[in-house]
Amino acid sequence: MPRNVSGNRRMVFWTTRLCSVLVVATISAIPCSAQTGAEPAVPESTKAATSEKPTIDKSHPLALPLNKAYEALKPLKEIRDYEGTFSKRELIGKKLLKTTMKLKLREDPFGVYLKYVDNHPGREVLFVKGQYNNNLLVREAGFKAIIGVISLAPSGTDALAENKYPITSIGIRNMLNKVITQWEAEAKLAGTTVQQRSDAKLPLSGQLCTIYEASHAKPAKEFKYHTTRLWIEDKTGLAIGVQQLGFPSAQEKEPPLVEEYFYSDLKINPNLTDSDFDKNNKNYSFR
């Protein structure tokens, strides 16, 4: 066999192997948001913010934070879209994974565009309800861009390999609804302690917030987390952060962080257009 033909075949073989490895590495770390409890395959952003509230015992410690959470639903009624920074930390297996992304989000039709700042910087992700076969599109940056655009089911095994929840659950509205659902269930039980902390600063941006914290001293099947913290921005009344801490093991002195989500530097109603959620946008790399 001529030497140049043999060399070309070897090059094709190793290029194919390399692309396979990169694809596996990519799909194991697709961005998703996380919330409390099981997640739907479709976004919850269309839920009415004024849904009927259950009757809560006013003497229960959770009555105060629940009422504050209900109040935080009100400004969401005027929000059509927003952009800013979305950061999260999630305990995946034994690793606490941290990711910061630039975010564009439209409520209806539900659409999300993300660009990674760290942990795979430059990666872009796009999801639009009813488009692209209801799959999310991923495009890597740098050398990994050789893979091209990857299409993945939001709730598929590959997309959730390094994420707790699908991208369809991202957004302030979904985050807040999950906490409300959790606290409404816990308000039927005893064993909750509540604290309120004013003048708290969001870690990334320093936005002033009030934290409403609910804790449980003893584990129980009804209590998924030891501590839940809801961060409500003082200026806007928006819920812009949630932290969930687990029950400490015998070897741990403090409750370990399980989930953390923050929305910072938000621009509310910037009038995002279809172009902002179009894979052919000239400022994106999906083309």
pLDDT for residue 18: 41
> 265: helix, coil or strand?
strand
| pLDDT confidence bin for 19, thresholds 50/70/90 | very low
Between the two ends of the chain, the Cα-to-Cα distance in Å is: 39
Distances (CA, A) of 240 to 37, 51, 186, 231, 264: 19, 20, 22, 6, 7
Residue in this structure with the two tokens 């999310």, named with its chain if needed: 136
Yes or no: say if 53 and 137 are a contact pair by the CB < 8 Å rule.
no
Return the closest-CA partner of residue 136 out of 239, 30, 243.
30
Most confident of 20-24, 116-120, 169-173: 169-173
In a domain, 168, yes or no: yes
In a domain, 152, yes or no: yes
Beta-carbon contacts of residue 71 (< 8 Å; ≥ 6 apart): 237
pLDDT for residue 101: 96
In a domain, 282, yes or no: no
Task: Return the minimum-mean-pLDDT range out of 84-93, 150-159, 173-182, 183-192.
Answer: 150-159
pLDDT mean over 179-186: 96
| pLDDT confidence bin for 56, thresholds 50/70/90 | confident
Calculate helix-pair angle for 63-73, 172-186, nearest 10 degrees. Answer: 150
pLDDT for residue 195: 97
In a domain, 10, yes or no: no
pLDDT for residue 11: 43
Provide the residue range defining the domain that includes 166: 21-277
For the cut 70, the answer to whether the pLDDT of residue 20 exceeds it is no
Strands (E), the chain: 81-92, 95-106, 111-116, 124-128, 136-139, 150-152, 193-201, 208-215, 227-233, 239-245, 257-268
pLDDT mean over 32-58: 53
Q: For the chain, what is the domain count?
A: 1
| pLDDT confidence bin for 256, thresholds 50/70/90 | very high
- Give the CATH number of the domain where residue 230 resides: 2.50.20.10
In a domain, 8, yes or no: no
Tens-digit pLDDT profile for residues 67-99: 999 999 999 999 999 999 999 999 988 899 999
Exposed / middle / buried, residue 66 (Cβ in 10 Å: 0-12, 13-18, 19+): buried
> 38: helix, coil or strand?
coil
In a domain, 14, yes or no: no
Return the closest-CA partner of residue 163 out of 24, 28, 25.
28
In a domain, 249, yes or no: yes
**High-pLDDT (> 70) share of the chain, %:** 82
In a domain, 182, yes or no: yes
